[in-house]
Structure 1
Amino acid sequence: MNKTEKIKALVIVALVYIIAGLAAIVTLEYLPISIILRKTMVADIVATLVVFIFSMLYKNSSMYDPYWSVAPIFIAFYWLYEAYGFPFAGADFTIWIMILLLITWGVRLTWNWMLRWEGFNDEDWRYVKIKKKTGIFYWPSSFISIHLMPTLWVFAGMVPVYYAINANTTPVSILMSLATLVTIVAISLETIADNQLRKHLRTRKSKNELLKTGLWGIMSFPNYMGEILFWWGMYLFALAYNVDLWWTIFGPLSITLLFVFISIPMMKKRRENKVAV
C-alpha cells in the first residue's frame, strides 16, 4: 500500500475512534449508574463494540489495535473531570506526573502502531491465525478474544489509576519516586525495543531473519517487558497515595498473566517456526 492509501486508512481509523468516543460520551451522560468506575467500564465496552462493528465492515480486526493505548488516556481525563471538574484545578502536581507519563506511554505506543500498520491490507498475523482456526465463527471469536478481553484487561490495569486520582491524600515520597522511576524505565525500555524492531523489519535480508542485537540480544521480547512494567508503575502510583489500595494488584497482575501465558508463548512459537525454516 502506498503512502496516500495508508494515510486514508489512518484517517478512517481516526474517524471510527471519534465515533466510538462519542458513543462512550453518550453512554456516560445517560447511563443511570452512579458508581463512576462501573459507568466507565460500560462506556468502555460500548466504545469497543463500535470499533468491533467497523472491524467487521472493513474485515480487519487490526482496527482495534490502537484502542489498547488510546482509551486509557481519555478514561483518565474523564476520571479527572469527575474528581476535580474542569480545568482540574484540584489535581496536584503528583497526579499530573502520573497522568503525563500515561499520556506519554499512550501517544508513543499509538504512534508506533501507526508507523508499522500498512493499512487495511495489513492485519496482525495472530488474527489471521485465529480466522483460519475458527472459520465461520471468526467474528464472534474476534469480538471476545481480540476486542472485548483486551479492553477488560486494560480497564483492570487502569483501576489503580482511578483510585490514585480519587485518593485525596499526600503520596508517600519514596513510593512516588519509585513509581515514577519504574514507569519512566518501562516507557524507555518499550520505546528502544520498538525502535530496534522497526529498524530490523526494514533492513532484514529475509522474513525469517531474527533480531538478536540491542535489547533483543539481551532479553526476549523487551517491548513486552516494558509494557508489563508500565502497568506495575501505574499500580505503584496507587500505593504511593494509599497502601491500602494493595488489592488493586489484580490490574497489573492480569496484564502480566496475559503476556506471560498468551502473548509471549505465541511469539516464541512463531520465532521457533522461523528458526526451523
Structure 2
Amino acid sequence: MGCSSVSHSNLKNAIIAFLVPLPSILFFLSFKSAYSQSPSSWSALWTWCYHHPLLLANVLFFFNVNFLFWLIGLIQSTHWMIDPYWTVIPVMLVHYYASHPLGEYNWLRSRVVILLTWVWSIRLIHNYFRREKWQWGAREDWRFTDLSQQYGRLWWWASFFAIYVPHQVLLIGLSLPLHVIHSVNEPLSMWDLVGTVVCICGVVIAYTADTQLYNFVSRKEEEGVGVPILEKGLWYYSRHPNYFGEQVWWWGLVVFAWNLGHGWTFIGALANTKCLAYVTKLVEDRMLKQDNRAEAYTLYQKTTSVWLPCFKYSPLELKSKDA
C-alpha cells in the first residue's frame, strides 16, 4: 500500500510539473501567432509584448512561477517544484529570447549558447533526480523547511517572498547574458571561445564534484559506516567544488555579454555568488551541528579552501593562522 501511494504521488507530481508551464507557453504562442499577422491588427497587449521582451519575461515569471508555484505549494504543503525548475527556466528563457520577434543576433553564437544551456540543464536535472532517487517532489529543500519552522503560522504568505520572489530576481538576473546574446548581432570573436571554454569547465567541475558527493553518500547509506566527511577527489582541494563549478558556469555567460558591450550583466552572477556564500554558511553550520561530523569538519574547514580549489594548508600555515 505504501509503495502504491508513493508511485501515485510521484506520477501526480510529474504530471503537475509538465503541465505547470503551459500558461506561459500558450501565451507566447498566441503572441507569435498575432505577430505573423499585420501589425495594424495588433492589440495594445501584443504591441507591448513586442517592444518589451525582458519585461514580458518578468511578467510571465511572476504569474506563472511565483504565483502559480506558490499556490500549488500551499495546496500540497511543500514547495518542492522550484528546485527542478531552477534547471529548466534558463532553457525556457534562452529559447524565448532566441524566438522573440525583436531578437537580433549572430546565429552561430546563439546556437552555441543554447547548446551550452541545455548541457548545463541536463547535468543539473540529472543530479537532482538521482539525489532524490528519481522521484518527483519527494521532499522540499531543507532550507525551506527550516524557514517554515521559523515563520510558523505566517509561512503561508511569507513563503511567497522568501522563496519565489528571490528566485525571480536570481534567475532573471543570471539569464541577462542570454537576453544580450539574442539582442546584439556582432561577429564572433576570440572571447566567444573563451566564454565557451569557461562555461564547459564550470559544467565539468560541477558534474565531477556532484558525482563524487553522490557516490560518497550512496556508499555511506549502503555500508552504514565510513569516514564522516568527503575529502577525496575535488573535495580534497575545495570544501564546495560543486558551488565553485556552478559559479564558473554563470560567469562564463557573462564573458559572452561583456564581449557584446554589456558587461553590466555581471550583476546576476555577482548576486548568485553572494547567495551561494550565504548557502555555504548554512550548509557548514548544519554540518557542525552533527556530532559525528563536527570534529572532522572543523579540521576540514581549517585545512581546505572554501570554494577555489587549491592545495591544503600545511601544519605550519595553520599555526601561523591560529596565531
Pair 1:70 & 2:61 matched = no
1:57-206 matched pairs, under 5 angstroms? 57-83=75-101, 92-118=107-133, 119=135, 120-173=137-190, 175-204=191-220, 205=224
Q: 1:52 maps to which residue?
A: 70
**What is the percentage of aligned positions where both structures have the same residue?**
23
Q: Secondary structure at the match of 1:122?
A: coil
1:75 maps to amino acid:
L
For the Cα contact (< 8 Å) 1:68–1:151, is it kept in 2? no
Query: How many Å separate the matches in 1 of 2:5 and 2:250?
Result: 35
- Alpha-carbon spacing, 1:181–1:121, altered in 2? closer, same or farther (3 Å): closer
For the Cα contact (< 8 Å) 1:52–1:64, is it kept in 2? no
Query: How many Å separate the matches in 2 of 1:166 and 1:44?
Result: 20
For the Cα contact (< 8 Å) 1:193–1:222, is it kept in 2? yes
Query: How many Å separate the matches in 2 of 1:154 and 1:129?
Result: 23
Pair 1:24 & 2:21 matched = no
Q: Secondary structure at the match of 1:66?
A: helix
For the Cα contact (< 8 Å) 1:83–1:165, is it kept in 2? no
For the Cα contact (< 8 Å) 2:70–2:160, is it kept in 1? yes
- Alpha-carbon spacing, 1:68–1:182, altered in 2? closer, same or farther (3 Å): same
Query: How many Å separate the matches in 2 of 1:20 and 1:111?
Result: 20
For the Cα contact (< 8 Å) 1:178–1:236, is it kept in 2? yes
1:206-240 residue CA offsets vs partner (Å, 9 max, x unmatched)? 59922221111210111111111111011111123
2:197 maps to amino acid:
L
1:214 maps to amino acid:
G
Q: Give the C-alpha shift of residue 154 in structure 1.
A: 1.2
Query: How many Å separate the matches in 2 of 1:2 and 1:230?
Result: 41
Q: Give the C-alpha shift of residue 26 in structure 1.
A: 4.5
Match of 1:251 among 268, 271, 285: 268
Report the TM-score, using the length of structure 1 for normalisation.
0.87
1:111-150 residue CA offsets vs partner (Å, 9 max, x unmatched)? 2111122554523221211111110111222222222212
- Alpha-carbon spacing, 1:71–1:36, altered in 2? closer, same or farther (3 Å): same
- Alpha-carbon spacing, 1:127–1:224, altered in 2? closer, same or farther (3 Å): same
Q: Secondary structure at the match of 1:211?
A: coil
Unaligned runs of 5+ in 1: none
Cα root mean square deviation, aligned:
2.6
For the Cα contact (< 8 Å) 2:212–2:233, is it kept in 1? yes
Q: 2:298 maps to which residue?
A: none
Query: How many Å separate the matches in 2 of 1:141 and 1:221?
Result: 29
2:272 maps to amino acid:
I
For the Cα contact (< 8 Å) 2:258–2:264, is it kept in 1? no
For the Cα contact (< 8 Å) 2:78–2:140, is it kept in 1? yes
For the Cα contact (< 8 Å) 1:176–1:236, is it kept in 2? yes
Q: 1:217 maps to which residue?
A: 236
**Bigger proportion of residues as helix:** 1
- Alpha-carbon spacing, 1:13–1:233, altered in 2? closer, same or farther (3 Å): farther
Unaligned runs of 5+ in 2: 32-44, 296-323
Query: How many Å separate the matches in 1 of 2:163 and 2:225?
Result: 29
Q: Give the C-alpha shift of residue 8 in structure 1.
A: 4.6
Query: How many Å separate the matches in 2 of 1:115 and 1:9?
Result: 18
Q: Give the C-alpha shift of residue 13 in structure 1.
A: 3.5
